[in-house]
Amino acid sequence: MTNKNAEQSTTNSNEILPILYWVLGSIWAPITLPWIIYQMLGTLHMKYKRTNLNSKVVLITGASSGLGEALAHAFYAAGCRVILAARRKNELERVKKDLLESHQTVPTHVPIILPLDLTDLPSLPKNIETVLGICSQIDILINNGGITSRGNVLNTDLGVYEKLMLVNYFGQVCLTKAVLPSMVERKSGHIVLISSVQGLIGIPNRSAYAASKHAIQAFCDSLRAEVAEHNVEVTVVSPGYIKTELSLNALTESGSKYGRMDENTAKGYSAEYVAEQIVRAVVEKKNEVIIAPPTARIAVYLRRLLPSVYFWIMNKRAKNEV
């Protein structure tokens, strides 16, 4: 009797499974197939639009390491004429060498090295004049160079706030103002400013950094409206944590170097992934893009829609960090 029941159960399963597969197929096939086609068409369309980057002159600050270096590879591989800008000339030489060796199969232009210091504001317009003298135009300016900090408001020296605003805000504004007239004259150009999720929401022990990135966000909103009639695009990028050396070079409350990798930074997105998303944002001419995991995105929406809940969460976070 037991064997008969088992056989009957197996027979029933064999009969039910085809029906179940048919039902699931009937439901999902009409959804899945169009989605696959849509994704394929989207990929092909993006590849086609990326060809518009070919031979564009792209100036990237902070190109000696981290995200800036990854951006150099991404735009160089797209056929752009890349200008590598940063303080450390020897590191720029290394990046240039890597570009030439890594993309030998791609028709490209030899990268140009531009040593500059974002804290030396008077020198920045002269640097732009030098580039315009060589290339005649700058099609895309990527303001990527920057520093961060660790420390609470009570104990952080005022000099740290000044340094971060000088590099992360005034340096970017100065470069943008130096490049902008040539873009307006040509009625063409794209300015990209790398902000941060912390430019949208302030978190404990990052007040100096968050304030400098908040300033960039506001600057971009005003700039975008002003240059729209001149066909100049403005994109502000707000990444979450990126696995780079940014935290190693962060400033402490006294202004000394932090010198260690945070856990969140170590678990962050790769610089290469973020660079590809930025290239996509430039190609699609997006006004702004957030490159961050769901938790960070939720925090941004909480700050806008339920600020009291956001404040409570940040209060708890501050206590836990202490």
pLDDT in tens, 67-102: 999 999 999 999 999 999 999 999 999 999 999 988
- Structure tokens that stand for 215 in this block: 């300033």
Q: Look up residue 253 and give its DSSP letter.
A: T
Same domain, 37 and 96: no
In a domain, 299, yes or no: no
Residue 270: pLDDT over 80: yes
pLDDT value of position 16: 67
Question: What confidence tens digit (pLDDT) does each residue in 275-296 have?
Answer: 999 999 999 999 999 999 999 9
Query: What average pLDDT does the segment 141-167 reach?
Result: 95
Percent above pLDDT 70 for the chain: 83
Closest CA to 119 of 158, 78, 162, 148: 162
Q: Mention every residue, 6+ apart, whose C-beta is less than 8 A from residue 267.
A: 241, 243
Q: Is residue 306 part of a domain?
A: no
Considering the domain architecture, whether residues 1 and 87 belong to the same structural domain is answered as: no
pLDDT bin (cut points 50, 70, 90) of residue 23 is: low
pLDDT value of residue 1: 47
Residue 38 in this model has a pLDDT that exceeds 90: no
Q: Write down the residue that tokens 């028709």 correspond to.
A: 107
Q: pLDDT at residue 240 above 80? A: yes
Q: Is the pLDDT of residue 109 over 70?
A: yes
Classify residue 123: in a domain, yes or no.
yes
pLDDT-based confidence at 248, cuts 50/70/90?
confident
Could you tell me if 134 and 238 lie in one domain?
yes
The structure tokens listed for 13 are 């399963």
> 218: closest CA among 153, 278, 172?
172
Contact 274, 246 (CB under 8 A): no
Q: What pLDDT is stored for residue 244 in this prediction?
A: 87
Question: 224 and 206 in one domain?
Answer: yes
- How many domains does the chain fold into? 2
Do both 41 and 175 map to the same domain?
Answer: no
Domain that holds residue 111: 55-294
Q: Is 320 contained in some domain?
A: no
Report the pLDDT value the prediction gives residue 102, as an integer from 0 to 100.
86
* Contact present, 182 and 131 (Cβ < 8 Å): no
Boundary residue ending a domain (53, 76, 92): 53
Least confident of 39-43, 214-218, 256-260: 39-43
| Mean per-residue pLDDT, 298-316 | 94
Residue 79: CATH number of its domain: 3.40.50.720
pLDDT exceeds 90 at position 42: no
pLDDT at res. 156: 95
Long-range contacts of 295-304 (CB under 8 A, 24+ apart): 296/197, 296/240, 299/197, 299/201, 300/197, 300/200, 300/201, 303/200, 303/201
Q: Global pTM?
A: 0.83
Predicted confidence at residue 263, as pLDDT, reads 84
Same domain, 98 and 202: yes
Please answer whether residues 253 and 151 qualify as being in contact, where contact means their C-beta atoms are separated by less than 8 angstroms.
Answer: yes
Q: Using an 8 Å Cβ cutoff, are 81 and 113 in contact?
A: no
163-220 tens-digit pLDDT? 999 999 999 999 999 999 999 999 999 999 999 999 999 999 999 999 999 999 999 9
Residue 39 has what pLDDT? 57
pLDDT of residue 173: 97
Instruction: Using alpha carbons, select from 80, 79, 83 the residue that is nearest to residue 105.
Output: 79
Verify that 91 and 9 share a domain, yes or no.
Answer: no
Assess if residue 117 is contained within a domain.
yes
Q: What is the pLDDT of residues 110-135, one digit of tens each?
A: 999 999 999 999 999 999 999 999 99
Same domain, residue pair 60 and 22:
no
Shared domain for 279 and 215, answered yes or no, is yes
**H or E, element range at 32:** helix 2-50
> pLDDT value at position 27?
66
Active-site positions read: 209
Residue 162 lies in a domain: yes
Residue 64 clears pLDDT 80, i.e. is over it: yes
How high does pLDDT run on average in the chain?
88
Confidence of residue 249 (pLDDT cuts 50, 70, 90): confident
Asked if residue 133 and residue 205 are part of one domain, the reply reads yes
| Residue 72, pLDDT score | 96
pLDDT value at residue 14: 57
Mean pLDDT, to the nearest integer, of 1-14?
Answer: 51
**Domain assignment of residue 318, yes or no:** no
Same domain, 33 and 144: no
247 and 195, same structural domain?
yes
Judge whether 124 lies within some domain: yes
Angle at 257 between CA 252 and CA 263, to 5 degrees: 75
Higher pLDDT: 13 or 87? It is 87
